[in-house]
Chains A and B, each alone.
Chain A
Amino acid sequence: MYYYRAIFKFFFDAVVFNIVFCLIMSLLTGFLWSLLFFNTVGIGVGLIGFRVFKNDEYYLYANLGFTKKNLISKIFCIHLILAMSILFVMALFKIIL
């Protein structure tokens, strides 16, 4: 039994704060920099946002067997996959164009 719904819920809850942060950063620094922020500093911003606004929900995950450390490592893995995908798509576009 794997709690993929729970993990993705945690990811989406945290990524909302990350996206808002990156949108603001894209206005200040441009789109490409915001992509970089999304997969680096933005992860931390997302986790801080979750901690501030949804801290009580950590107990839900704890009851499912996930520690904070465990959840954070999963978020990093998802972001790593996302970053690789974005790089792949960008490289593909460069080849086509």
Chain B
Amino acid sequence: MSTLVISNLTKSFHKKIILEDVSVQFSTGDILGIFGRNGTGKSTLLQCMFGILDSDSIVIRINNKEINPKDVIASKKIGYLPQDSFLPKEKKVRDIIPIIFPDGEDQDKIFYTQGIHKIENQKAGTLSLGELRYLEVVLLCHLKHDFLLMDEPFSMIQPLYKELIKELLYTVKKTKGIAITDHYYQDVLSITDTNVLLKDRGLIPVFDKKDLVLYEYLTS
């Protein structure tokens, strides 16, 4: 079992502090839900954890071993699903898969994943939002990383693909630790083991919808 521990995370933009001394941890086998109103710093938190955004201060430990934030990407321990699509729109799905998975066996696993066969001859740019998001989640889930950070995997997705994504995440959580942030709180709550709410620059543990109402993320 691997454990990712983030501590002492502070991030500010032009003297405005977004995150202050934030700490969070999760292990393989866990799905962590991160809630928060727009502008509270959910995406910033994930980007700092992924090392693609510089933070004012951060300590990242994987299995008690400290990692320099600049080395997180190269370590290939953490994968990141950004809000916007990161796949080359001009490429067909069947051509994108070998770019990410040079190994033939790994490619087969992707091609045989439910729902991929019917889109393999389409260009990424012509896929529907749901198909594209599902493809991205499938690709990320098959990478060897121990941890996945997912920024809005359920946003604007039709129920069929939401269910496929949930099923997939539920399967891969046996070998990965996953952090999800999304405003579709019911979908997130249905698959998470622990949840936190980002409010007033810090994280508050939450357990259910009642807590989200209590801390004014939801109105009722």
Task: List residues of chain A with CB under 8 Å of any chain B CB.
Answer: 1-6, 9, 13, 54, 56-60, 62-67, 70
**CB of A65, distance to nearest CB on chain B (Å):** 4
Contact yes or no, B84 A56, CB < 8 A: yes
**CB of B103, distance to nearest CB on chain A (Å):** 6
Can you name the residue of chain A whose Cβ is closest to the Cβ of B76? Answer: A65
Within 8 Å CB of B145, what residues of A?
63
Q: Which of B74, B87, B102 contacts A60 (CB under 8 A)?
A: B87
Whether A62 touches B102, Cβ cut-off 8 Å, given contacts A56-B85, A56-B86, A57-B88, is no
CA gap between A4 and B70 in the complex, in Å: 23
**CB of B4, distance to nearest CB on chain A (Å):** 16
Q: Which of A13, A63, A66, A70 contacts B140 (CB under 8 A)?
A: A63
Whether A3 touches B86, Cβ cut-off 8 Å, given contacts A63-B140, A63-B143, A65-B76, is no
**CB of A15, distance to nearest CB on chain B (Å):** 15
Whether A70 touches B103, Cβ cut-off 8 Å, given contacts A59-B86, A60-B87, A63-B80, is no
CA gap between A89 and B41 in the complex, in Å: 54
**CB of B97, distance to nearest CB on chain A (Å):** 10
Within 8 Å CB of A70, what residues of B?
74
**CB of B145, distance to nearest CB on chain A (Å):** 8
- Residue count of chain B within 8 Å CB distance of chain A: 23
**CB of A38, distance to nearest CB on chain B (Å):** 23
Within 8 Å CB of A2, what residues of B?
102
B52 within 8 A of A: yes
Contact with A along B40-73 (1 / 0, CB 8 A): 0000000000101000000000000000001001
B130 within 8 A of A: no
Contact yes or no, A5 B98, CB < 8 A: yes
Contact yes or no, A1 B103, CB < 8 A: yes
Within 8 Å CB of A66, what residues of B?
73-74
Can you name the residue of chain A whose Cβ is closest to the Cβ of B52? Answer: A62
Most buried by B among A6, A62, A63, A67: A63
Can you name the residue of chain B whose Cβ is closest to the Cβ of A6? Answer: B99
Q: Which of A1, A3, A62 contacts B99 (CB under 8 A)?
A: A3
Q: A54-B88, A57-B87 are in contact. List 17 more A-B contacts (CB 8 A).
A: A1-B102, A1-B103, A2-B102, A5-B99, A6-B100, A56-B84, A57-B88, A59-B80, A59-B82, A60-B86, A60-B99, A64-B100, A65-B75, A66-B73, A66-B74, A67-B70, A67-B73
